[in-house]
Amino acid sequence: MNSSKKDEIVVNNDVKLEMKSYFLNFSGPFQIAVLCMLYALSLGSTVGIVPAMMTDRFARNIHGLNSTEDCSYFVGENKPVECKYGSQDAQNASAESYLISNILTFFSSATVGSISDRHGRKMIMILGCILGLIGPIMLVLMQLDSTLSPFWYYSGRSIDGLVSWMAIAQSSLSDVIPKEFRAASFALLSAGFSLGFAFSPAVSLCFDSHLETCFASLFFMLLALVINIFFMPETLQNVNNSSLEKETSSSSCLLRPFREMSILNRDILFRLLSGLAFFSGIVGAADQSLLVYYVEDRLDFNDVDISKMFVFMGICGILVNCFLIKRLIDIMGERLVLVVAFSAGTITNLLYGLSKTKMMIFIALPFSSLGWMSFPTISAIKANNVNEFEQGRIQGALFSLQALAFGIGPVLLRFFYNHTKDYSPGSMFICAAIIELLPVGFAYLLPKDRANTKLSQYSSIDEETFNTENSSTEYSSVEIAEGITIEQPFDEILMEQKDETTSTLFDCTQQINQ
The pLDDT, as a whole number, for residue 257 is 64
Q: Where are the beta strands (DSSP E) in 201-321?
A: none
Write the pLDDT tens digit of every residue in 172-223.
877 777 766 776 677 767 777 777 767 776 777 778 788 999 999 999 999 9
Contacts of 85 (CB under 8 A, 6+ apart): 58, 59, 62, 63
Per-residue confidence (pLDDT) for residue 266, from 0 to 100: 81
pTM: 0.65
Q: What is the dihedral of CA 491, 495, 496, 497, to 10 degrees?
A: 100
8 Å CB contact between 476 and 492: no
Q: At what angle do helices 81-119 and 50-61 cross, to 10 degrees?
A: 130
SS (H, E, C) 100-132: HHHHHHHHHHHHHHHHHHHHCCHHHHHHHHHHH
CB 179 within 8 A of CB 453: yes
CA proximity to 41, closest of 217, 297, 166:
217
Cβ pair 163, 133 in contact under 8 A? no
Which helix (H) or strand (E) segment holds residue 484: the answer is strand 484-489
End-to-end CA distance of the chain: 45
SS3 486: strand
Residue 317, pLDDT score: 82
Question: DSSP letters along 229-279, please?
Answer: HHTPPP---S--GGG-----SHHHHHHHHHHHHGGGGSSHHHHHHHHHHHH
CATH architecture of 19-234+258-459: Up-down Bundle (1.20)
What lies within 8 Å, CB to CB, of 410 at 6+ separation is 94, 95, 98, 99, 285, 286, 289, 290
Task: Please check whether residue 361 is in contact with residue 352, taking contact to mean a CB–CB distance below 8 angstroms.
Answer: yes
3-state secondary structure of 487: strand
DSSP 8-state code for residue 232: P
pLDDT at 324: 87
Structural element, H or E, at residue 270: helix 268-289
Alpha carbon distance 29, 232 (integer Å): 9
Block means of pLDDT (10 residues each) for the chain, 514 residues, are 41 49 66 84 83 90 87 80 88 83 79 81 90 93 91 89 80 75 70 71 76 92 93 75 45 61 82 87 79 83 81 83 84 91 94 91 91 82 77 75 80 82 84 91 89 60 43 43 44 47 46 46
Helices (H) and strands (E) in the chain, counts: 23, 2
Q: Per residue in 124-168, pLDDT tens?
A: 899 989 999 999 999 999 999 988 999 999 998 888 888 877 778
**CA neighbor of 401 nearest in space, from 269, 254, 249, 281:** 281
- Identify any residues that bridge with 478 across adjacent strands, giving them in sequence order: 486
Sequence spans of domains, the chain: 19-234+258-459, 477-513
Residue 505 pLDDT: 41
CA-CA distance, 57 to 55, in Å (whole number)? 6
Write out the H or E segment, with its range, that includes residue 475: strand 475-481
**Structure confidence at residue 425 (pLDDT):** 81
The pLDDT value recorded for residue 22 is 58
The answer to whether the beta carbons of residues 303 and 173 sit under 8 Å apart is no
Q: CB neighbours (10 Å) of residue 498? A: 10
Residues 487 and 476: beta-carbon distance below 8 Å: yes
Q: Are 468 and 16 in contact (CB under 8 A)?
A: no
Taking the C-alpha atoms of residue 40 and residue 196, their distance in angstroms, rounded to an integer, is 5
Helix, coil or strand: residue 473: coil
In contact, 223 and 76? CB cutoff 8 Å: no
Q: Which three-class secondary structure state does DSSP give residue 70? A: coil
**Angle in degrees, CA 18, 21, 25, rounded to 5:** 135
Do 442 and 264 touch, CB atoms closer than 8 A? Answer: no
Give the Å distances, CA to CA, from 70 to 61, 66, 81, 83, 237: 13, 10, 13, 9, 53
